[in-house]
Amino acid sequence: MDKLVIHGGVPLRGAIPVSGAKNAALPLMCAALLSDSTLTLSNVPELADIRTMKKLLGQHGVRITNPAPGVYALDAAAVDNFTAPYELVRTMRASVLVLGPLLSRFGAAKVSLPGGCAIGTRPIDLHLKALAAMGAVIELKDGYVHAACSGRLKGAEITFDKVSVGATENAVMAATLAEGKTTLHNAAREPEVQDLCQALKAMGASVHGIGTSTLVVEGVKRLGGAWHTVIADRIEAGTYAAAAAATGGEVELIGARADLMQAVIAAFIRAGVEVKETPRGLSVRNTCKRLRSVDVTTEVYPGFPTDMQAQAMAMMAIAEGVSRISETIFENRYMHVPELSRMGAGITMDGGEAVIHGVAELKPAEVMATDLRASVGLVIAALAARGETTLHRVYHLDRGYERLEEKLSACGARIERVPGTAGAEDRLEEAA
Ligand code: UD1
């Protein structure tokens, strides 16, 4: 398994191009299953999760070509296998997003249950309830969801008990080919859900209320092809912003969308970081200043994203004063806490909240990545800590950060990958 060796203490300075959003690209690739015409996606990041999704769709019978870097043409005209197997679903939970499209277009789908994961139980009951409300017959057998419907799914009035990004995406995709009108109440409003809805519209779907918590879909008999550009990754942009802030540096995030990052920007400003929109994106500056403590509670969009919680904690570990971080989206999403503590952070748990007593500086150590965002939180801590930190199990980072070392090195970071034994991707574990 590869590891990263980071010599911290160097302020990041320079420009970082923001990649397309992983969490938008994955559902968008699944949307290709809804049509027998080609869906072409551009600005797709080159990541382990995208490769897993290509494998999954490929085994369903989707023909995928890559005519230019970051451009994928997905042709689902010859899909003939409706099973998403355990080996793939277990490595990437977003695989369950094939369920709605397969069921809606072909009337049948068999998808492995994703199982437990590193950041909480993460059930899929909301996905299944929504599809059942549209007339699907769902059975759980041998670790698989067996879903079927005779004829088309039927439009329905659905209220989600809890806001779920994935359940909203599965339901909205299924509804595009259902008979009649589907209304999704308490739907997720995340930018990635909005991006999916825009692509569905470009394919000929009728989707209203995009960006609100009520989505109304008028089912159509067939969807066509489209060309769609994946939105910029707001979490990747926020991650590099946190790295710049924690190292006392200054970076311009090319392509970052400030309008999609309001809660994160507000927290950075409270911490004393200068954040400004530029013609190319966003500039983030914290030269020679100790950060101020900030309390953060994770919430659904437009609140502070859970996927930025570990990065915020790494920043707060070296801020002046005491910060409280409360995770409300996923239970157990604090695996970075013991690892940050190994680097000298003063963190205690108080019920479901992390209480962070900022220290003047973190110390280098050997640490271990446990999931995607926890790992990148450790990278930020390592970039800030003077001396050599080794981060093990880097494959978690490869799931969601495109060219991480290259982007950071270009801004002066001293970061090196030490290759491990082959086959690391086979050991990919579940994370956000
Ligand atoms: C997506 C993102 C992930 C992000 C998360 C929350 C992708 C590929 N992943 O994950 O990076 O951290 O949104 O912003 O886009 N829940 C249920 N039942 C369900 C589904 C979800 O109880 O059927 C719960 C989950 O356990 C969690 C909460 O709802 O507590 C939110 O999860 P959800 O929004 O569904 O996350 P994902 O779509 O899995």
Q: Whose CA is nearest to atom 15 of ligand 1?
A: 23
- How far is the centre of ligand 1, averaged over its atoms, from the C-alpha of 366 (Å)? 30
What's the CA gap between 301 and 191, in Å, rounded?
8
Taking 90 as the threshold, does the pLDDT of residue 423 lie above it? no
Residue of 235, 329, 331 to test ligand 1 pocket, by largest number of atoms within 8 Å of CB: 329
Taking 70 as the threshold, does the pLDDT of residue 116 lie above it? no
Q: Which ligand 1 atom lies nearest to the CA of residue 188?
A: 34
- Which of 62, 155, 63, 90 has its CA nearest to residue 426? 90
What's the CA gap between 134 and 129, in Å, rounded?
9
Radius of gyration of the chain (CA): 21
Q: Whose CA is nearest to atom 33 of ligand 1?
A: 164
- How far is the centre of ligand 1, averaged over its atoms, from the C-alpha of 166 (Å)? 6
Residue 197 falls in the annotated catalytic set = no
Residues 46-85 have pLDDT tens digits of: 999 999 999 999 999 999 999 999 999 999 999 999 999 9
- How far is the centre of ligand 1, averaged over its atoms, from the C-alpha of 82 (Å)? 23
Pairing mode of beta strands 281-285, 250-254: antiparallel
What residues contact 404, with CB distance under 8 A and at least 6 apart? 376, 379, 397, 415
Taking 50 as the threshold, does the pLDDT of residue 368 lie above it? yes
Q: Whose CA is nearest to atom 22 of ligand 1?
A: 123
Q: Whose CA is nearest to atom 39 of ligand 1?
A: 166
pTM: 0.96
Q: Which ligand 1 atom lies nearest to the CA of residue 164?
A: 34
Q: Whose CA is nearest to atom 29 of ligand 1?
A: 164
What's the CA gap between 297 and 264, in Å, rounded?
11
Residues 228-276 have pLDDT tens digits of: 999 999 999 999 999 999 999 999 999 999 999 999 999 999 999 999 9
What's the CA gap between 158 and 106, in Å, rounded?
22
Taking 50 as the threshold, does the pLDDT of residue 426 lie above it? no
Could you tell me if 198 and 208 are in contact, meaning their C-beta atoms sit under 8 angstroms apart?
Answer: no
Instruction: Give the helix/strand (H/E) hosting 254.
Output: strand 250-254
- Which of 386, 186, 190, 214 has its CA nearest to residue 304? 190
Q: For ligand 1, which residues put their CB under 6 angstroms from it?
A: 23, 26, 93-94, 120, 122-127, 162, 164-167, 192, 306-307, 329-330, 432
CA atoms within 13 A on the CB side of 49: 28
Instruction: Give the helix/strand (H/E) hosting 391.
Output: strand 387-392
Taking 80 as the threshold, does the pLDDT of residue 39 lie above it? yes
